[in-house]
Amino acid sequence: MRYGRHGPQAYDAKYARYVAEIKCAKCGEEEALIGERTGPNNENITVTCEKCGLVWDRDFTPRCATCGTTNVYPAFQAILDKSRGTQLSIQSMRLVHLCPVCEPEKHAVYSQTNSPIPPDTLPVETNE
Protein backbone atom coordinates (compact mmCIF):
# COMPACT_ATOMS: atom_id res chain seq x y z
CA MET A 1 0.00 0.00 0.00
CA ARG A 2 1.27 3.45 -0.91
CA TYR A 3 0.66 6.58 1.02
CA GLY A 4 0.97 10.18 -0.07
CA ARG A 5 3.84 12.32 1.07
CA HIS A 6 2.19 12.98 4.40
CA GLY A 7 2.39 9.31 5.30
CA PRO A 8 -0.17 7.26 7.19
CA GLN A 9 -0.37 9.78 10.04
CA ALA A 10 -2.34 12.17 7.88
CA TYR A 11 -5.05 9.54 7.45
CA ASP A 12 -5.02 8.61 11.11
CA ALA A 13 -5.44 12.23 12.14
CA LYS A 14 -8.41 12.57 9.84
CA TYR A 15 -9.98 9.42 11.22
CA ALA A 16 -9.37 10.54 14.79
CA ARG A 17 -11.40 13.68 14.18
CA TYR A 18 -14.42 11.62 13.23
CA VAL A 19 -14.02 9.37 16.24
CA ALA A 20 -13.66 12.34 18.58
CA GLU A 21 -17.20 13.39 17.72
CA ILE A 22 -18.44 10.76 20.12
CA LYS A 23 -16.88 10.71 23.53
CA CYS A 24 -18.16 9.75 26.95
CA ALA A 25 -18.78 12.95 28.91
CA LYS A 26 -18.06 11.19 32.18
CA CYS A 27 -14.95 9.05 31.73
CA GLY A 28 -13.77 10.23 28.30
CA GLU A 29 -14.03 6.79 26.71
CA GLU A 30 -14.08 6.94 22.92
CA GLU A 31 -13.88 3.30 21.91
CA ALA A 32 -16.15 1.17 24.08
CA LEU A 33 -19.33 2.96 23.09
CA ILE A 34 -22.48 1.26 21.86
CA GLY A 35 -24.81 3.24 19.60
CA GLU A 36 -28.43 2.20 19.29
CA ARG A 37 -31.09 3.79 17.13
CA THR A 38 -34.17 4.76 19.09
CA GLY A 39 -37.29 6.84 18.63
CA PRO A 40 -40.41 6.31 16.50
CA ASN A 41 -38.55 6.90 13.23
CA ASN A 42 -35.10 5.82 14.39
CA GLU A 43 -34.16 9.48 14.40
CA ASN A 44 -32.30 9.32 17.69
CA ILE A 45 -29.12 7.54 18.61
CA THR A 46 -28.71 6.43 22.18
CA VAL A 47 -25.11 5.82 23.16
CA THR A 48 -24.03 3.66 26.08
CA CYS A 49 -20.51 3.72 27.50
CA GLU A 50 -19.40 0.20 28.26
CA LYS A 51 -16.73 1.47 30.60
CA CYS A 52 -18.68 3.54 33.14
CA GLY A 53 -22.29 2.85 32.14
CA LEU A 54 -23.22 6.39 31.15
CA VAL A 55 -26.17 6.60 28.76
CA TRP A 56 -26.89 9.61 26.57
CA ASP A 57 -28.68 10.61 23.45
CA ARG A 58 -26.37 11.53 20.67
CA ASP A 59 -28.01 14.83 20.01
CA PHE A 60 -26.19 17.19 17.73
CA THR A 61 -27.87 20.22 19.22
CA PRO A 62 -29.13 19.64 22.74
CA ARG A 63 -32.29 21.60 23.30
CA CYS A 64 -35.08 21.86 25.82
CA ALA A 65 -38.00 19.61 24.89
CA THR A 66 -40.43 22.08 26.44
CA CYS A 67 -39.41 25.54 25.23
CA GLY A 68 -36.90 24.63 22.52
CA THR A 69 -34.00 26.72 23.82
CA THR A 70 -30.51 25.48 23.13
CA ASN A 71 -29.27 27.34 26.20
CA VAL A 72 -29.26 24.17 28.27
CA TYR A 73 -26.72 22.75 30.69
CA PRO A 74 -25.41 19.18 30.70
CA ALA A 75 -26.03 17.24 33.89
CA PHE A 76 -25.86 13.65 35.03
CA GLN A 77 -29.02 11.90 36.07
CA ALA A 78 -28.90 8.74 38.11
CA ILE A 79 -30.53 5.61 36.75
CA LEU A 80 -31.71 3.61 39.73
CA ASP A 81 -32.39 -0.05 39.75
CA LYS A 82 -33.51 -2.44 42.40
CA SER A 83 -30.65 -4.51 43.57
CA ARG A 84 -31.37 -7.43 45.85
CA GLY A 85 -34.35 -6.85 48.09
CA THR A 86 -35.84 -3.39 48.14
CA GLN A 87 -32.63 -1.38 48.27
CA LEU A 88 -32.33 1.10 45.42
CA SER A 89 -28.89 1.67 44.05
CA ILE A 90 -27.46 3.81 41.30
CA GLN A 91 -26.99 1.47 38.38
CA SER A 92 -25.70 3.91 35.83
CA MET A 93 -25.91 7.52 34.77
CA ARG A 94 -27.61 9.34 31.98
CA LEU A 95 -26.50 12.60 30.42
CA VAL A 96 -29.41 15.01 30.35
CA HIS A 97 -29.72 18.70 29.63
CA LEU A 98 -31.31 21.00 32.15
CA CYS A 99 -33.21 24.05 30.99
CA PRO A 100 -32.71 27.01 33.34
CA VAL A 101 -36.11 28.38 32.27
CA CYS A 102 -38.30 25.27 32.57
CA GLU A 103 -36.37 23.46 35.31
CA PRO A 104 -34.89 26.24 37.46
CA GLU A 105 -35.04 24.20 40.68
CA LYS A 106 -33.24 21.20 39.20
CA HIS A 107 -30.69 23.44 37.58
CA ALA A 108 -30.05 25.38 40.79
CA VAL A 109 -29.65 22.22 42.85
CA TYR A 110 -27.33 20.62 40.33
CA SER A 111 -25.09 23.68 40.00
CA GLN A 112 -24.76 23.82 43.79
CA THR A 113 -24.27 20.15 44.64
CA ASN A 114 -22.83 18.88 41.35
CA SER A 115 -24.13 15.45 42.30
CA PRO A 116 -26.31 13.37 39.97
CA ILE A 117 -29.91 14.46 39.90
CA PRO A 118 -32.44 11.81 40.95
CA PRO A 119 -34.48 10.03 38.27
CA ASP A 120 -37.88 11.40 37.30
CA THR A 121 -39.61 8.19 38.27
CA LEU A 122 -38.49 5.50 40.64
CA PRO A 123 -38.70 1.90 39.50
CA VAL A 124 -41.91 0.35 40.72
CA GLU A 125 -43.20 -3.16 41.05
CA THR A 126 -45.08 -4.29 37.97
CA ASN A 127 -47.33 -7.28 37.54
CA GLU A 128 -46.59 -8.30 34.02
Q: How far is CA 92 from its chain centroid?
A: 11
70 strand-pairing partners: none
Min dist. Cβ of residue 126 to Zn ion (A): 29
Helix (H) or strand (E) holding 18, with range, is: helix 8-19
**Residue ranges in 51-80 that form contacts with Zn ion under rule CB under 5 A:** 51-52, 54, 64, 66-67
- In contact, 122 and 80? CB cutoff 8 Å: yes
Q: Does 102 bind Zn ion (CB under 5 A)?
A: yes
Min dist. Cβ of residue 57 to Zn ion (A): 15
Min dist. Cβ of residue 92 to Zn ion (A): 10
Q: Does 101 bind Zn ion (CB under 5 A)?
A: yes
d(CA 103, CA 95): 15
Query: Site residues (CB under 5 A) for Zn ion?
Result: 24, 26-27, 29, 49, 51-52, 54, 64, 66-67, 99, 101-102
